[in-house]
Structure 1
């Protein structure tokens, strides 16, 4: 599966990029005390490092991010995940629209954990703030025990006279269940809501961030081998990122 995703990514970038399109690229690295996504730890509640690259070719962009998952039981003991994404966007007046397709590829897992996810979002400025709403949908796949729908909204705003940006996010995960154990990878205890309140300081290529992240996951629920309920509760997450 990994080889097919890589081939598809390369083919899409080659075929859809128009002749003479301007190309821009960035590379980054990040250290965090916990790799948290949608309120759930993907690194066993432990520190994680990641590296990423982003390439913009005309109307199409492609990115790759590799993250240490530290033998995460949520992902069958995987040591790392590679997120490979193709995206595109449009500006419609004050609103920016975006569509993405992402393959999540897991290394070192005891069994097949790879899955695909599609996304779309809309963003607009409102004074000093930027507002975003979107949806991420993973079609029914064996690796996640059904399908998964994630709806989210976020807002961020610079604090005038300071180098700080405040961030607020909320999201809700739901979906169908074909395999009750595997479905708990992305929805431990069933459908749930997550939230984040954070602050970031950006200076040149360096970003420092600190966030409070929470969920309403019932940590006393009956879990399975992939639920990892002990790493689905509230936490403080710090990160350091450098971009080139």
Structure 2
């Protein structure tokens, strides 16, 4: 686990080294969240059950680092893990009107049976136009035993505030693909093989409080032959709610 987290830090530091960070005052934030389930890329990481999360983020100039801890409720997808710790480092900079971001993340699973930890890195481009903020990006995980091969997630998302209201609309579509070395473990991140996911959401933001609800769906088949890591019953269309407080 330590080796993979160190690798994530090295990848992030390497990408950050290409950019000379601006000297700015240190900043930080803490976020606490409760949600009806921990969902990522249309898949439940907490077996469709409620989860708790805590984030801490610090930044200096363009360089930032974060740690997120989420309860997983003995997740079948992640070898019975009780929680996941996501450690990330990244940077962003402006290229004209477009904001480019690169980052690397190590995922460490507490209480899992066997080696479940893995690392990935991503790059994205964002553009704001009036109340609309849109992003396209790709996140790649090199071939690793824990995920049965490699994984590539390409996505596009957008959010826009509704004029005259405290509401924000959100939408996202993504596609997961990659190579397969171990068909059983590859279904952790791609149950049934490559698939597309989507999200439509609505958020109410007021001061430090955010309340959100999302409709989430995937094209993952519940009838296809699956491994013990797939958890296909928690990969279909559903509604997810969340409440977040930031400090």
TM range (shorter): over 0.9
Between 16-25 and 75-84, report the one with greater CA deviation. Answer: 16-25
Query: Are residues 1:116 and 2:119 paired?
Result: yes
> C-alpha separation between the residues in 2 aligned to 1:19 and 1:130?
24
Runs of 4+ in 1 over 4 A off after TM superposition: 6-12, 15-21
What is the deviation of 1:59?
A: 2.0
> C-alpha separation between the residues in 1 aligned to 2:8 and 2:190?
28
- Aligned residue number for residue 213 of structure 2: 210
From 99, 106, 109, give the equivalent of 2:109. 106
What is the deviation of 1:136?
A: 0.4
From 166, 169, 176, give the equivalent of 1:166. 169
> C-alpha separation between the residues in 2 aligned to 1:238 and 1:174?
27
Query: Are residues 1:182 and 2:185 paired?
Result: yes
Cα shift readout 1:183-227 (whole Å, capped 9, x = no counterpart): 000000000000000000110110000000000001101011101
What is the deviation of 1:9?
A: 4.2
- Aligned residue number for residue 97 of structure 2: 94
> C-alpha separation between the residues in 2 aligned to 1:4 and 1:147?
15
- Aligned residue number for residue 2 of structure 2: 2
> C-alpha separation between the residues in 2 aligned to 1:79 and 1:44?
11
Between 64-73 and 21-30, report the one with greater CA deviation. Answer: 21-30
- Contact preservation (8 Å) 2:22, 2:61: no
From 221, 224, 228, give the equivalent of 1:221. 224
What is the deviation of 1:8?
A: 7.0
> C-alpha separation between the residues in 1 aligned to 2:218 and 2:58?
33
Rate the CA distance shift 1:19–1:189 in 2: closer, same or farther, 3 A.
closer
- Aligned residue number for residue 46 of structure 2: 43
- Aligned residue number for residue 59 of structure 1: 62
From 20, 24, 27, give the equivalent of 1:24. 27
The runs of 5 or more residues in structure 2 that have no matched partner are none
Rate the CA distance shift 1:204–1:8 in 2: closer, same or farther, 3 A.
same
- Aligned residue number for residue 72 of structure 2: 69
Cα shift readout 1:6-40 (whole Å, capped 9, x = no counterpart): 6974995xx97979642100001000001000000
- Contact preservation (8 Å) 2:92, 2:99: yes
> C-alpha separation between the residues in 2 aligned to 1:92 and 1:72?
41
What is the deviation of 1:2?
A: 2.6
The runs of 5 or more residues in structure 1 that have no matched partner are none
Which TM-score applies when normalising by structure 2?
0.93
- Aligned residue number for residue 140 of structure 1: 143
Aligned to 1:181, the other structure's residue is in SS state helix
Rate the CA distance shift 1:19–1:127 in 2: closer, same or farther, 3 A.
closer
> C-alpha separation between the residues in 2 aligned to 1:138 and 1:231?
23
